[in-house]
């Protein structure tokens, strides 16, 4: 099934579709094991830095083969693409979906760059995501606010034809210094006036009740990255500090298993049952 169709179907059912980043073989296998064990679909996400780290073709091939090997229904998505050129390279490499992030640009420039990626993606039958509003990135202030406004969201979606829209309703990338408080009323108003799938970035650390409330009020795609990196590295740090093992094939699986446990829990939450 095309990603757009799956997202529309899940939005109607008030179900979330989890989108997990992967950074190497171990993190990929960790998230896919979770999806296979609970028989849930999954979006596999790659950022520019992960693409540069693994190599574009290697990263895509790993994702595709992983989905086949584990028998998981899934799609490969560019997360936070910063340029039309990167989006084009990912489309050429066979991505199912690309995000063009012009959220820090003026509104009209964000519209322009997003519309261009939408135009290019049509030739590939690919899905396109954009972002509107201020969702703090790693290293940026969580104090600043720039929530997505319903009428701007409506105008943006109509002007660009974008399939999915990441909205700013109180989340941030990275870990939170205090519990986030999502503006669910604002989300509901955005959902009422827009036709695109709504996306929640900064899903790591959002309490279960707020995640479910967001899904009940229009969110479908839920991103998860920081918690995956954190649990993998923290587990490795502990294991390496407590033994002299030099065989990575004996050490890495413990960290991979922790990712699987984490993602299984998140998949159960976004099912919203």
The response to whether 131 counts as a known ligand-binding position is yes
Where do we find the tokens 């990441």?
166
99 forms beta bridges with: 129
The response to whether 101 counts as a known ligand-binding position is yes
DSSP state of 47: -
Are residues 217 and 198 in contact, defined by beta-carbon separation less than 8 angstroms?
no
The response to whether 203 counts as a known ligand-binding position is yes
The response to whether 153 counts as a known ligand-binding position is no
The response to whether 44 counts as a known ligand-binding position is no
The response to whether 66 counts as a known ligand-binding position is no
Would you please indicate which residues are annotated as catalytic (active-site) residues? 79
Token pair listed for 250: 């004996």
d(CA 130, CA 150): 15
The residue among 211, 108, 221 whose CA lies nearest residue 165 is: 221
The response to whether 226 counts as a known ligand-binding position is yes
d(CA 121, CA 112): 14
The response to whether 223 counts as a known ligand-binding position is yes
Transcribe 66-108 into DSSP letters: HHHHHT--EEEEEEEE-SHHHHHHHHHTT-SEEEE--TTS-HH
The response to whether 80 counts as a known ligand-binding position is yes
Contacts of 228 (CB under 8 A, 6+ apart): 20, 21, 22, 23, 27, 30, 31, 259, 262, 263
Dihedral sign (CA 167, 168, 174, 175): negative
The response to whether 174 counts as a known ligand-binding position is yes
Q: If residue 128 lies in a helix (H) or strand (E), which one and from where to where? A: strand 127-132
For residue 141, how far is the Cα from the chain centroid?
21
From first CA to last CA, the distance across the chain in angstroms is 22
The response to whether 205 counts as a known ligand-binding position is no
The response to whether 173 counts as a known ligand-binding position is yes
The response to whether 127 counts as a known ligand-binding position is no
Residue set of the binding site: 80, 101, 131, 173-174, 201-204, 223-226
Residue set of the binding site for Zn(2+): 80, 101, 131, 173, 201
Residue set of the binding site for dihydroxyacetone phosphate: 174, 202-204, 223-226
């Amino acid at each position: 099934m095309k990603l757009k169709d799956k997202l529309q179907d899940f939005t109607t059912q008030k179900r979330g579709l989890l989108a997990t980043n992967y950074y190497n073989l171990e993190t990929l296998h960790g998230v896919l094991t979770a999806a296979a064990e609970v028989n849930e679909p999954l979006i596999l996400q790659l950022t520019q830095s992960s693409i540069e780290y693994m190599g574009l073709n290697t990263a895509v091939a790993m994702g595709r083969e992983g989905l086949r090997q584990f028998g998981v229904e899934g799609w490969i998505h560019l997360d936070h693409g910063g340029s039309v050129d990167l989006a084009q390279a990912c489309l050429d490499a066979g991505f199912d979906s690309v995000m063009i992030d012009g959220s820090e640009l003026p509104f009209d420039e964000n519209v322009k760059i997003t519309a261009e990626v939408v135009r290019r993606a049509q030739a590939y039958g690919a899905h396109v995501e954009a972002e509107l509003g201020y969702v703090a990135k790693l290293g940026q202030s969580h104090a600043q606010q720039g929530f997505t406004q319903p009428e701007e969201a409506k105008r943006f979606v109509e002007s660009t034809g974008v399939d999915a829209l990441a909205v700013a309703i109180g989340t941030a990338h990275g870990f939170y210094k205090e519990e986030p408080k999502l503006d669910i009323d604002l989300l509901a108003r955005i959902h009422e006036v827009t036709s695109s799938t709504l996306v929640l970035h900064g899903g790591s650390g959002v309490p279960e009740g707020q995640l479910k409330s967001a899904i009940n009020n229009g969110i479908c795609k839920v991103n998860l990255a920081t918690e995956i990196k954190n649990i993998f590295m923290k587990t490795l740090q502990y294991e390496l500090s407590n033994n002299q093992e030099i065989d990575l094939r004996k050490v890495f699986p413990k960290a991979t298993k922790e990712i699987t446990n984490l993602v299984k829990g998140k998949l159960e939450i976004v099912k919203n049952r």
